[in-house]
Chain A
Amino acid sequence: SQTIHQWPATLVQPVGSPLSLECTVEGTSNPNLYWYRQAAGRGLQLLFYSVGIGQISSEVPQNLSASRPQDRQFILSSKKLLLSDSGFYLCAWSVGGAGAYEQYFGPGTRLTVT
């Protein structure tokens, strides 16, 4: 069966510090991968998605970036965090192609920027 992991689970970082959040998927090949951010009490905002290694599409211009160095690894990064980067970050995967392929979510990372 497929599983998705995210780490760390929680993170407290000062403003201006770098960020690296990691997401890995097991049990599937060539998944589509997604990074979402959820601010407190709000819905999910798609940040990045990837359909393959090295292929990243950005939805929202910001100081965050994403990379996909391996087929089942997706990394969210920042060189300098802002207070507004605080939130709950969710990674998700789906099977690519046509069809009702829902997205499966990881457990998330709670990021607090102080």
Chain B
Amino acid sequence: AQTVTQSQPEMSVQEAETVTLSCTYDTSESDYYLFWYKQPPSRQMILVIRQEAYKQQNATENRFSVNFQKAAKSFSLKISDSQLGDAAMYFCAYRSYWGGSEKLVFGKGTKLTVNP
């Protein structure tokens, strides 16, 4: 079964600086998808960025980018020019295709604090 590991329960960053959140996963599949979700204090889950495993190019969305290392099964999220509104729980997720339904496997999350 696929597993997703986020080894950093908490991280902090100064406003305007850059922070990287780590994520590793375990799978025997060759085709899959990876996501980063953000959960602010409101607890609404918001998609931040996604990566298709067959694409070598790292995904970027404005200040958010990923470092996808398929051989190492690593999928880290970099937040540049951190803002106070970036403070949230961040979850890494793996999309498994099984039995005709797509399932997301989540890591346990990293709590990001942004200091002014």
Contacts and interface: CB of A to CB of B under 8 A. Distances in A.
Q: Does B associate with A?
A: yes
A108 B95 CA distance: 21
A103 B37 CA distance: 10
A32 B44 contact: no
A108 B44 contact: yes
Given A42-B108, A102-B35, A32 B43 contact: no
Interface in B66-103: 91, 95, 97, 99-103
A107 B97 CA distance: 25
Interface string A82-114: 000000101010101010111111011010000
Main secondary structure of the interface of B (DSSP, over half): strand
B47 interface: yes
Interface residues of A, number: 25
Contacts of A57: 99, 101
A43 interface: yes
Contacts of A108: 43-44
A57 to B, nearest CB: 7
Contact of A32 (B42, B45, B101): B101
